[in-house]
Structure 1
Amino acid sequence: MSAAPEVKSADANDRANAISTIVLGFAADPMARWAWSDPSEYLRIMPRFVNAFGGRAFEYGTAYVTEGARAAALWLPPGVEPDEAEMDAIMEESLRPEIAGDIGAIMKGMAEHHPLEPHWYLPLIAADPTWIGQGLGTLLMKHALRRCDEEGIAAYLESSNPRNISLYERHGFKIVGRIQSGSSPVVTPMLRPAS
């Protein structure tokens, strides 16, 4: 019988692989592919976007990977925000003009739903599609949520893929809103209260 996969903090040596895993995992994500529908554009832009959106997790030791970076989760500690200036620059450079206004409304909605109290924020979690269904997302969630519980701090995320909502609900997250604009897919903000 093989041992359960381990979760570790991703260091500088793991960063590129963790980002690549997230890029692969989001290749069929409704929001990511609505934003960058052209495959070449998606592959060019998404690594930079992942780094801007969740990359600060690497600086705080809160980027987690399973063995071989088969799955990765980028958690931002309380008070740490995504690199919004870089995200804005990426979107200004790469978004189709016809969706730019809707993306702006989505980003505004995301900002409005963030809890005001201190919370852990999960901007990105994904598995390499080859490893989906192996329990790696659950493993990553349990690892990070244990810390949230020890600290008595809420956790927050936005699900950009409706297929993932049940995973988050199994870990105690509750839907707290609905974000959608124009032709965009729905983004579902979810909160797991402090325990």
Structure 2
Amino acid sequence: MIRPAGSCSQIQYLTFFPEFVRLYGGRAFDHGGAHVIAGHGGAALWLPPDVHPDDEALDHLIERGVAPAAKPEVLAVLAAMASYHPEEPHWFLPLIGIDPRQQGQGHGMALMTYGLQACDRDGRAAHLDSSHPDNVPFYERFGFELLTTIEIGGHPPMYPMRRRAR
């Protein structure tokens, strides 16, 4: 996830983040990978094998929405994240979120379990990029392994993780 940093104002973030979500994970809706908790408690967008974020449109969004001084760093972070994606077809979890008022009620566990059932049914690996270190142990409980910590400039660290095929 791209978070506001340094020269990126909160207004820019709020303006461009909905489009980022659509471009990064929105194809999940067309491919059966969008899962929502009843009552809008949370959602997960899983991209099945051979379905990818809209990279060309994301490049245009970065061009319009990221301050010129921050672009090299953002692009370097994204390139580093991409370098850890498996080469073989895999399920990708670009986005998952739980309403903070509903955290701790098992919604994240339900979304992960449901999404990983498709991975296991297909016998495919799964990949995600965590944007917060506190979430790493949560994903590890589902069999994800931390690959590295990506730390570039002043951008918040990213944590690429992979779950082997089962």
TM-score bracket for the superposition, by shorter chain length:
over 0.9
Helix, strand or coil at the partner of 1:157 = strand
Unaligned regions of 5+ residues in structure 2, if any? none
Q: Give the corresponding residue for 2:127.
A: 156
Measure how far apart 1:83 and its partner are. Answer: 0.5
Deviation at 1:40, TM superposition (A): 2.0
2:38 maps to a residue whose letter is E
* 3-state secondary structure, aligned to 1:33: coil
- TM-score, length basis structure 2: 0.94
Shift of 1:108: 0.8
Q: Secondary structure at the match of 2:56?
A: helix
- 1:125 aligned to which of 96, 104, 111: 96
Shift in Å at residue 36 of structure 1?
A: 7.7
Aligned positions of 1:8-19 closer than 5 A: none
Superposition map of 1:7-86 within 5 A: 31-34=2-5, 37-86=8-57
Partners of 2:17 and 2:143 lie apart in 1 by 29
Question: Conserved in 2, the CA contact under 8 Å of 1:36 and 1:42?
Answer: no
In 2 relative to 1, CA 81–45 (structure 1 residues): closer, same or farther, beyond 3 Å?
Answer: same
| Corresponding residue pairs, total | 166
Equivalent position SS for 2:111: helix
Per-residue CA deviation, residues 28-81 of structure 1 (Å, 9 max, x unaligned), is x8x513278522222111100000000000011210001022100000000011
Paired residues of 1:35 and 1:95 also in contact (CA < 8 A): no
Match of 1:186 in 2: 157
> What secondary structure sits across from 1:146 in the alignment?
helix
Identity %: 43
Partners of 1:35 and 1:72 in 2: how far apart?
28
Q: Distance between the aligned counterparts of 1:77 and 1:174, measured in 2? A: 19
The aligned amino acid for 2:105 is Q
Of residues 162, 172, 176 in structure 1, which corresponds to 2:143? Answer: 172
Cα contact 1:74–1:122 (8 A) shared by 2: yes
**Does residue 1:103 correspond to 2:81, yes or no?**
no
In structure 1, the partner of 2:113 is 142
Q: State the TM-score, normalized to the length of structure 1.
A: 0.81
- Range moving further from structure 2, 127-136 or 53-62: 127-136
Moved over 4 A (4+): none
